[in-house]
Amino acid sequence: MPRFFIRKEQIEIKENEKLIHIVGEDAHHIARALRMAVGEGVEICDMQKNLYMCTLLEFFDDKEVLARVDSEVKCDTEPENEIVLYQALAKGEKMEIIIQKAVECGATKIVPFKSERCIAKLDKKDEPKKIERWQKIAEAGAKQSGRGIIPQVFPALTFDQMIDEAKKCSLPLFCYEAEDGSTIKSALRGAEDKSTIAIIIGSEGGFSVTEANKIKDAGIRSVGLGKRILRCETASAFALACIVYENEL
Q: Could you check whether 3-74 and 82-248 share the same CATH topology?
A: no
Binned at pLDDT 50, 70 and 90, residue 140 comes out as very high
Q: Domain extents for the chain?
A: 3-74, 82-248
What is the share, in percent, of the chain residues with pLDDT greater than 90? 82
CATH assignment of 3-74? 2.40.240.20
- pLDDT per position as a tens digit, 11-50: 999 888 999 999 999 999 999 999 999 999 999 999 888 9
What's the rounded Cα separation, in Å, for the pair 27 and 82?
30
Residue 180 has pLDDT above 80, yes or no: no
- Mean pLDDT for the stretch of residues 165-178: 95
User: Exposure pattern of 204-229 as b/e (b: 16+ CB <10 Å)?
Assistant: bebbeeebbeebeeeebbbbbbeeee
According to DSSP, residue 2 is labeled -
Q: Which one is the CATH code of 82-248: 3.30.1540.10, 1.10.260.30, 3.65.10.10, 3.40.1280.10?
A: 3.40.1280.10
